[in-house]
Amino acid sequence: MKLIIEIITGAISLLAGMWITIKAFFSPVVTVQYPRQVIDITPMFRGHTKLLADENPDRTRCIACGICERNCPSNAIKKVEGEKREGEKKKTATAYILDFTACSQCGICVETCPVGALAFSADYNPVGLKRSDFCWDLVKEFEKRRAVI
């Protein structure tokens, strides 16, 4: 008798499971067909870092102090160089080499920058064919962005 009850409850449980999958079969899909459909990126997304513009739009805020370079745990910031221009109190960045292949997006550089020159970009799909494609000079990227505007 117990066996019959077990068989019947077992069969009912199997049918309940089948009902769930068949309901899912006729429901709309929950996937987004990337890359044909793209969803918006949240503003907090941690893409690679980018240099922000100063009040004077010709230069970035970076003063080439090197604090980010020293604090990066992965040694992803390879070279920060700057020069002192006339009439400016602090240095201006001329080169800022970021090796994105080592970056872990921890945010320590963004946090420790004394002038707030760095921010995360929303670039979620950088593409390259070799490792050196991910070694960027952020100053050059800044100038490219400015030229577009």
Partner 1 sequence: MIEQVINIVGMANIRVIIGLTGILTLITVSTLLLTWAERKVAGHMQRRIAAKEVGPFGLLQPIADAIKLIGKELLTPADVEKPLYFLGPILIFVPVLVSFVVIPFDARLQVMDVNVGILVILAFSSLSVLSILISGWGSNNKYSLIGAVRSVAQNIAYEIPLLLSVLAVVFMSNSLSMNDIVEAQKGLWYVFLQPIAFIIFFIACVAETNRTPFDLPEGESELVAGFHTEYSGMRFALFFLAEYTNIVIVSAVATTLFLGGYNGPILPGIVWFFLKTYFLVFVIMWFRWTFPRVRFDQLLNFSWKILMPLSFLNLIATGALLKLL
Partner 2 sequence: MLEDIKSEITDINVAEASYPERGYHLAIEARKENLLRVIKFFDDKGFYLEDLCCVDYADYLELVYFFNNHTELFRIKTTIKLTPDKPSAPTISNIYTMAHWYEREIHEFFGVYFENHPNLTYLFLHDGIDSYPLRKNRVPVSEDDKRLLSFPIPHEEEDTFSVNLGPQHPSTHGVLRVILKLDGEYILSADPVLGYLHRMHEKMAENRSYAQFLPNPARMDYLASLNFNLAHVAAVERLCAIAVPERAQYVRTITCELNRIASHIFWLGAFLGDLGGLTPFLYGFDDRENILDILEGITGSRLTYCYFRFGGLYNDVDDNFMDATRAFVKRMWKRLPMYEKLVTKNVIFINRVEDVGILERDKVRRFGCSGPVIRGTGMPFDMRKVEPYAAYGDMDFEIPVGENGDILDRYMVRMREIETSLRIISAALEKLPAGPFNAEKVPKKLKPPKGDAYHVVESPRGQLGVYIVSDESDTPYRMRWRVPSYSNLMTFPHLAQGTLIADAIAILGSLDLIIPEIDR
Residues 1-31 as b or e (16 or more Cβ within 10 Å = b): eeeeeeeeeeeeeeeeeeeeeeeeeeeeeee
Least distance from partner 1 to the Cβ atom of residue 101, Å: 30
Q: Which of 12, 18, 38, 41 binds partner 1 (CB under 8 A)?
A: 18
Residue 94 binds: one of partner 2, partner 1, none (C-beta under 5 to 8 A by kind): none
Q: Which of 108, 115, 119, 135 binds partner 2 (CB under 8 A)?
A: 108
Instruction: Give the binding range for partner 1 (CB under 8 A) out of 24-32, 44-52, 90-98, 135-143.
Output: 24-32
Write the CB contacts of 111 (distance below 8 Å, at least 6 apart in sequence). none
Burial of 96 (0-12, 13-18, 19+ CB in 10 A): buried
Per CB under 8 A, does 65 bind partner 2?
Answer: no
Can you tell me the distance from the alpha carbon of 33 to that of 144, in angstroms, rounded to the nearest whole number? Answer: 31
Q: Which of 1, 5, 21, 130 binds partner 1 (CB under 8 A)?
A: 21
Task: Write the DSSP assignment of 67-135 as a string of letters.
Answer: HHHHH-TT--EEEEEEEPPTT-SS-EEEEEEEETTT-----HHHHH-TT--EEE--------SSGGGGE
Per CB under 8 A, does 120 bind partner 2?
Answer: yes
Q: Which of 1, 2, 5, 31 binds partner 1 (CB under 8 A)?
A: 31
Per CB under 8 A, does 39 bind partner 1?
Answer: no
Residue 27 binds: one of partner 1, partner 2, none (C-beta under 5 to 8 A by kind): partner 1
Contact residues: partner 2, CB under 8 A: 6, 9-11, 13-14, 16-17, 19-21, 24, 30, 42, 44-46, 71-74, 104-108, 111-112, 120
